[in-house]
């Protein structure tokens, strides 16, 4: 794919609802998702993912939060296992096929409905 975008790069946000994956509270599952995703979308990790389980700010908000720093920027995730919701961000200085990434993540997390946005950040970045 070629990059016909002018600016720093794409920032994809995914709000995934009704996720049927039984692994939303599994630190190892989220770790491996963040560990493998950069290479699968043509990016390179700076270091291993940081992933933690959180009891949340209130009851029902339990889940896993993680981030992986990549040469191109970062990928983050927040899961809410009891609500079957996942929020993800992928920010990159390099073009990536956000439709392909959306499909992969919807499939892996077994989301029944989702919302996504992909904006170009840094339009005046040289």
Render pLDDT for 93-126 as a digit per residue (tens, 0 to 9).
999 999 999 999 999 999 999 999 999 999 888 7
pLDDT at 1: 42
d(CA 95, CA 101): 12
Residue boundaries of the structural domains of the chain: 24-121
Phi, psi (degrees; rounded to nearest 5) at 54: -130, 140
Architecture of domain 24-121: 4-Layer Sandwich (3.60)
Residues of the chain whose pLDDT is less than 70? 1-5
Give the list of residues 6+ apart from residue 21 with CB closer than 8 angstroms, or none: 29, 108, 109, 110
pLDDT of 6 reads 78
pTM exceeding 0.85: yes
pLDDT at 56: 86
């Amino acid at each position: 794919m070629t990059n016909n975008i002018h600016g720093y790069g794409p920032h994809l946000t995914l709000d995934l609802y009704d996720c049927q994956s039984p692994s939303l509270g599994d630190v190892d599952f989220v770790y491996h998702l963040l560990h493998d995703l950069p290479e699968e979308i043509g990016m390179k990790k700076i270091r291993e993912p940081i992933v933690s389980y959180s009891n949340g700010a209130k009851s029902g908000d339990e889940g896993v939060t993680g981030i992986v720093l990549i040469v191109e920027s970062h990928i983050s995730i927040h899961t809410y296992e009891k609500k079957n919701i996942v929020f993800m961000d992928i920010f990159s200085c390099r073009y990536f096929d956000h439709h392909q990434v959306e499909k992969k993540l919807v499939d892996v997390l077994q989301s029944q409905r989702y919302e996504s946005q992909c904006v170009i950040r840094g339009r005046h970045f040289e």
